[in-house]
Each structure stands twice: as C-alpha cells, then as structure tokens.
Structure 1
C-alpha cells in the first residue's frame, strides 16, 4: 500500500480549505486514476483527529490561527504519481491543478509549492510544444509567463529564508537554521500568486491556440462541417408548452448559413409556425444548431416489456427533417441510474435474458428509424458502474451485442459508442468500472466497424461530473483521446441555474464553477456561457472532433440533466444561445 503525504502550512490553509480536496486523486503517466482514500490530519490539537471530508472539521477551524495540517492520499501501489485537485483561481473560477510526477516518501511534499511547480511546468512545456508547431505567442502571454515563473522561484526561496540563511552563515551556524514563520508566509503567498498568474497564462495560451488553429482551418474550409447539435428529449412532445409564443418568429436572412447550406434548404419555409403548440424545436434554437441529438433510448421507449412506444421519437425526427437538422440518434442504451427500463430489475441474475431483451429492442428501434438517423449513438456509460451491475466480461459482451445488432440492421449508417467521465474520476472512488480510454480502445479494436467515440463531459454537478478544466487542459485531454485515431463526438452538460430542476430526469444538483457566483440565475447563466465558450472553441479547432453536442434545448420541456438548456425554465434565452447562434452564422455550415 502506498501513501503520498502533502504538507499544508498555516499560511496556505485558507487556499487549501477552499479547494475540493476530498475529491482529489492520484494518477499515473497515462492519466488513469487510482482508487484513492483521502484524509486530512490537522496540526491544531483542538481539531478532532483525521477527517475525510471538510464537513467533519470544527465549524471555526478554517478561521483559526492553526488551520494547516497534512493531506494523505492512500492507494494500493507505491509508485510515483501526480496529484489532481480542484482549486479556486482568482478571476477564473474552479480549475483542476496538477502536480508534476512525485515519489511516495515518508516525508510530506509541500502542497502549494508542488501545485505551483505543476502549473509552471504545464504552461511552459505546452507553450514550447505549440510554438514549435507554428503557434505565435504574444507579449501578454510572455509577460504572464515571466511573472508567474518569478513568483514560483520566490516561493521556492523566499526572501526571509535567504536573509535568515545569510545571517546564520555569518554566525557559523548555517546547519542550525530553524523553520522561519515569515519565510513560510512569503513562500505560500508567492506560490498562490504564481498559480493565479500561470493559470491566467494557461487561459491566454488556450485562446491563442484556438484562435490560430481556427484561422488555419477556415483558410482551407471557410465553413466548418463540424456538427453542432442540440440535445432533444422526445418526452417534450407530450408536455412541452410553447416557449416562443411571446417572441417573434425569425426567418433565415440571405447570406446566413441557414440560407446557404444545402442541409437547411427547407428552413425558411418550415420556420413559419414552428413555435406553435405541439412544436418540439424552437426557431431560435434552429438558428444556433445544424444538428439534433435526439434521445432514442430504451428507458424512454419501452417502459413495459415488449411494448415499445415509438410515437414521440417519430414526431421529433419528422420535425428535424422538416427544418433540415441532421440527426444523431441515441444513446440507444443509456447506462445511468434511472434511465433504463425499471422492469430490467427482474433480470438481475439472468444476463442471457437481458442480452436477448436488449437485442430485440435495438433491432426493432433501428429497423423503425433506419434512414431517418444520420449517426447512431449506440450506448453511453457502459464504462462506469450502473444499474445493471455487470462485470467487465459482461460489459464487453453487452457492448459488442449492441454494436453488432445496429450494424446488422443498418450497415450504412455510422455508429459510435459514448464514454462517461472521460477523465476517469469514478475510478478514484470505486473499484468497479473500466478505464475509459482502455474501454474505447478495446471497442475500436473489436473489428465491428465502430465509426468513432463519444465523450460525455458533465461539468458542475455533484454526481458523475468531470472536474472543471481550463481550455489548455481540455485541449491536452482531447489530444490524448486523439491518439486512438478515431473521430470524436463531444457532449457538454453545464448548468445555467442553481438548485433542483423539477423537469429534469436526474436529480443531481448543480455545483458552482466559480466561488464568486452567488445564487442569482443571471450569474449562473453567465457562468455557463463563460465556461463553455473556450471549450467549444477548442473543440472546433480540433479536426478530429466531428461533432459537438450541447446537452439541452429548453428547460421548460422534460429533459435529463438539470438546468442545461439554452432556454431557461421561464422561456428566456440564456447567453450561451446568443453565443452559439453567432458562432453558427460566422463559421458553421
């Protein structure tokens, strides 16, 4: 068993306790997390011993004079590893910080110093790599990098420690220099400042990459063929109220993508009356997207065994065809708690019967909608532990069964398989589950003609989320998945409101992506757009990303993830809708 210890000085305690340290984890060079148990050992004798969550600390502990301690992460191996921890960055919000690779030692590493070292290494090496590839840096980035590096060096050797060492050398007692409280304070302040500035440099570097890469793509492809899809749930057919009754219908103006694109040639004629009661797709949404990700899912269609109801899905697909939206159908199997048919619990101990039921449903579904779907999303989330409680062998058999059935019934339409939590955070807390990138690699090597991989990123939730990352980290992550040499479909789920969402199927709660965001809906909606924009622009800059899916059209209609819609529950467009509309007008087909 290996333990990695990190010292948290009193001077760095406030920063540490604002971090989400209970969700921190260790990973190796491949980025796959180890199952990790986290404990914080306060140095304050008034604290009640080691704790595993911040809630276990005394109420007044964080404001005390001795709020430091030692963070210990325990796993089954004693090899070197990197620490990943979500921390608040002034002016940016919560972001994952990563140390460099560290050895397991009995003596603790200095947490704040190692996080600053990781930020410095990450920004400098990526800047060098991209610059060698032709990226042009600017003076603003150079200034941030120089200043951030200077603060990191100050943290390693604070002025107070240097002065104390010189004084001790003069007196001939250099080997007796003791801990210097002033030096600890200076070191912590410099490290925190270094992290803040270097993360600003990372944001600038990510923007430089997306801007210049996009310009290069558009020099060869003025209108990007990337699919920008909106997630639509067929449940809205029965209960959706008109979200555009109070807004004026729009028509495509000459020169816009809607007017020029062959795939949307029917748009102008179809927009009349699109906001009438019974309509599924709002006209404002049509202007922002060139595709629709329609939920064609087992749990929604076959609520009673052997009696699928395809009516709501047919209505949505017909409307998508009438307004010229390409269709991504699925996930046919959504392996999340509460999204599979309830009657499957009767088959808990009968895998062969489960496989037969799945095959029958998939066959009936694909035969029904063959020709109306342009891309099949076969299944989502089979890499994580779900309600079917399958072991690794059964997961692979089930996955292959879904793919084989779709390919047999519809051999011409491309098929993808989607991965939940592509960074693998679930592996840090549970032994169950398969490494996401290894699972995808096995499917691609199966020889079943898988056309690509879907990556589902859900940022800002208390369950099943991907920890928030900068555009730089996101670009590196996409590059890592790109090593599989398969097209990628990326789905983004980001909440635009706090609290419970009564219209959402999943009752997970939104978690703020910035400590500065209060409970106001407009602040959350603005946060949604500000967090999403650099990620979307990074994805559009990557040629290996063939489709981007925004998970949610309107929060007025029934949907899956809470508060993800580009239109809120009161029918008002969120800022992200305006951004996506402009994006499509300027650069998408």
Structure 2
C-alpha cells in the first residue's frame, strides 16, 4: 500500500470541505489509481495500491472561481507530509506555463494580462516556499493559486477567441452544430424559440418510456418531435437508445439479468426496431449512455463491453450509412478512484474503435455542480486538455453540457440528484450558469475535434433528470443562458 500525506493550515478548514474525501491520485500518464482518503487532525492521507509517484487531485476553494479541481505535480512518497496548498500552487503554475508554451508555439498571441498574473502567482509562490510559519505559508500559497487560476482563465479565453476566429474564417457559420436535448413532451408554441440559438435537436428515445412493457411500444411522442424538427430543417440526433446506468433499462428485463443470451436478444431487438422505424429520417444515432460507469442490472464491466460491441455491430447492419455514437459519462474518469472499474472511459471507447464495430464518434457528457455523481468543477485549461486527449482517438467528438441555475429544491426532478452549491464562487444562479456555459461552449467550438455541442435540458417546467439545468425556468421563461447562447450563434 502506498501513502501520500499532506498537511493543511488547520483542522477548521475541514469542517466545510466534504470534497476532501473525493481526492485521488493519478499517474503521470493520467491513469487514476483506486484511492482512499484518510483525515487525522490537519493531515490528509491518500492511500492506493502502488507506491509509484503520483499527482494528487482535489477540489480546492479558490477565491473568485469556486471549488476547482486542482492537482499537484508528480510526487514521490516520503515520511514528511507535503504542504497541500504549496504543492497545488506548484502544480497549477507548472500546468499554466506548459500550456502557454504549447499554445504560443502554435501561434497564439498571449495577452499581456496573462504575464502579469503569472508573475503575481510566481512571486506569491516564492514567498511561500521561503516561509517557515505554516499558516503564513498556506496563505501565500493560496494567493498564488488564485493568481494562477486567474491567469489560466485569461489564457483559456484568449485561446477560445483566437482559435474560434481562425475557424470562422474557414466557415461562414459556427464550425460546430449547436444542439438542445428536447424535453419528453409534445412540441408546443414555445419551441419556436429554439431555432434561434440551435440548429440541432436530440430526440430522447428512452427504452423505458418507449417500451414500458415487453412488446408494448409507444412512438407517438418521438414521431411528433421528429416531424417538428424536420419541418424546421434541424439536424436530428436520436437516443440514447440504451442507458446502462442504475435504473436505466426497462424493469421487465430484470428476470433476464443473469441470462446474457436472452438479454442480448431483447436489447438487439429494440435497437433494430427503433432504427428501422426511423431509417432514412435519423442519420445520427446515439446508441448508449453510461456504459462506462454502469449500474444497470448489475452487469459487470466486461459483459457491458461485449454487449455494446454486439449492439454496435447490429446497428451497423441495420443502417450502414448512419453515424453511430456513444455518450460517455464523466469523461475524465474521476469515478475510477473508487476501484470498481478496470478500464478508463477513453480506454473503453478506444477498445471499441479498434474492434472495428463501426463507431462513428463519442459524445462526452459533462454535468457540473451536482451530487452525488457528477463531473468535478474544472477550468478552461482542463477542458482543453480533455478534448485534445479524446481527439487523439481520431473520431469526431460531441459534447453534452449541463449545470444548475439555482440551489433550491426542484420539484420536477425525476432522480435523487441534488445541486452542490459549494462549487460556484457565488453559489448557483442564472448568471453563473450562463457564464460557465458560454465560456465552455466557446472553447469547445474552437476545437477542431468537436463537431457538436448540446445542452442537456430545455425546460425546468417539465420532468428532467438534473435539477435547474434547463434553458427555461419553471415558468417556461427563458433564462439568461438562453439569451447568451442566441448571441453565441448570431
């Protein structure tokens, strides 16, 4: 067993820091080790099954940014605990300088303000290193982190602006489709507003709702939504057809949980039925979601992967011309720290790409600001590196985004998911949601590997899985994010 230990300023900061138990270690190559956090006084310990050097990741309160996931440099084990704030500052400054150097070599014009903020971060860090008093050292290191995160935001926004401007010189419109996942309801007059910011729509084809009882299909809602999209010449994506997350598959499949042959038969039959019904009208099919995290029918990881490969093969036989994509839950793979999965999300998709089953792309789902299971809050540089990493697979990338606009109870939420108000600098609000969405979308659209960006939910007035995630509020009135996205696509 390996153990890395870190000291913090005092025990007081641990009282309102539940994220401390979600820290984890990753190797220099990004591989996440199964990790377990321990707290004793003001000393944190992170255990894993190897003694290799590793980078420690943890959500850290950063003034003006909320609780961002930060990481240290690669650290070896030692008897004396590391000062956590100091190592996080060191790690952020190194990441910042490396990214700026890479982008500058590729032609990015680095803003002057970035250099000023970097100098501030380095000055605070130098003072912290020379300080003997732990409290003062942590204070200076925290100031270095704030300046470094300010610089990262400045750098990320500069990249987004310049890279997007470069792409728009080659394309008369946005170089990626901008989509919305439609609510599970019949089209109504408010939907006419959708076509202003969006040129694409995702039709939910939830197997549980389409076939609530074996052999009893209900296609009316999907038929109406598809006709509405076609009449407005929107790019249509349908799915996910399969949801391998907890409770994601129809309840009537439960008796076949331990019968892989019949389970595969039922699943493939539904895939074939759905695709044949809309063949020629839907060209982009989202076959499955949460296949990498799992939870449905307690299917083991290897069985899910084998089943998914078979499903993709069947889907390709049904429609040789359509694009087949998979939605990847938590694409950074933070959940790997629990030790319940063998393959990282990118390894899972890479295995399917290499198997030659006809996978056309991946849809990275990033839901920030929720609990218990969601993506941790990260800055623009981390998003950029994620897309660059996944872009290495050589397949088109789609990204589905969501974050909350409020922290109060949401009566239309269909899951037990709640809002984590601590992640945002001023708590969840419409303005915070709009700021986060527009910054991230601009960065994503600027990336050549990204062909489409979709917002997860339309309307808070109708049932939805993530609280306060809609572009319209509970009275079906547009939020600030909706107005901002209209400007983005203008």
TM over 0.5, shorter chain: yes
Over 3 Å counting, the alpha-carbon distance change for 1:73 and 1:134 in structure 2 is: same
CA distance in 1, matches of 2:73, 2:79: 18
Q: What is the CA deviation profile of residues 351-377 of structure 1, one whole-angstrom value per residue up to 9, with x for unaligned ones?
A: 111100001111100000112212111
Aligned to 2:441: 536
The CA deviation string for residues 42-87 of structure 1, in whole angstroms up to 9 with x for no partner, is 1xxxxxxxxxxxxxxxxxxxxxxxxxx1100111111111011111
Residue in structure 1 matched with residue 69 of structure 2 by the alignment: 96
C-alpha offsets along residues 480-509 of structure 1, whole Å, 9 cap, x if unaligned?
A: 111111110111121122233332322200
Asked if 1:356 corresponds to 2:265, the answer is: yes
Match of 2:87?
114
**Mapped partners of 1:324, 1:29: distance in 2:** 46
Q: Structure 1-normalised TM-score?
A: 0.80
Contact 2:56/2:72 (<8 A) preserved: yes
CA distance in 2, matches of 1:446, 1:309: 34
- Give the length in aligned residue pairs: 490
Residues 458, 464 of structure 1: 8 Å contact kept: no
Superposed CA RMSD: 1.7
Are 1:300 and 1:339, in contact at CA under 8 Å, matched by a contact in 2?
no
Match for residue 116 of structure 2 among 127, 131, 143: 143
Q: Deviations along 1:528-587, whole A, 9 cap, x unmatched?
A: 1112221111101001100111001111122332221100111221111011111111xx
1:25 aligns with 2:21: no
- Give the structure 2 partner of residue 269 of structure 1: none
Deviation, structure 1 residue 513? 5.5
Give me the whole-angstrom Cα distance separating, in 2, the residues matched to 1:320 and 1:109: 56
TM-score by length of 2: 0.96
Whether contact under 8 Å (1:452, 1:489) holds in the other structure is: yes
Equivalent of 2:180 in 230, 235, 241: 230
- Relative distance call for 1:516 and 1:488 in structure 2 (3 A) is closer
SS in structure 1 opposite 2:23?
strand
Partner residue, 2:426: 517
SS class of match (1:456): strand
- Say which one has the larger Rg: 1
Within 2, Cα distance between the matches of 1:334 and 1:394? 15
3-state SS of paired residue (1:287): coil
Q: Does 1:125 align with 2:98?
A: yes
SS at match of 1:309: coil
Are 2:247 and 2:295, in contact at CA under 8 Å, matched by a contact in 1?
no
Q: CA deviation at 1:323?
A: 1.6
CA spacing shift, 1:552–1:433, aligned 2, 3 Å: farther
Per-residue deviation, 1:95:
0.9
SS in structure 1 of the partner of residue 21 of structure 2: strand
Question: Which consecutive unaligned segments of at least 5 residues does structure 1 have?
Answer: 43-68, 162-182, 243-273, 276-281
Structure 2 portions without partners, runs of 5+:
none
Answer yes or no: is the 8 Å Cα contact 1:468–1:513 preserved in 2: no
Instruction: Tell me if structure 2 keeps the 8 A contact 1:383–1:433.
Output: no
The structure-2 alpha-carbon separation of the partners of 1:329 and 1:375, relative to structure 1 and needing over 3 Å to count, comes to same
Task: Select the residue among 176, 201, 215 that pairs with 1:292.
Answer: 201
User: Given the superposition, is the C-alpha separation of residues 225 and 194 from structure 1 closer, same or farther in structure 2, using an over 3 Å criterion?
Assistant: closer
1:173-192 matches, within 5 Å, as 183-192=133-142
Q: CA deviation at 1:302?
A: 0.9
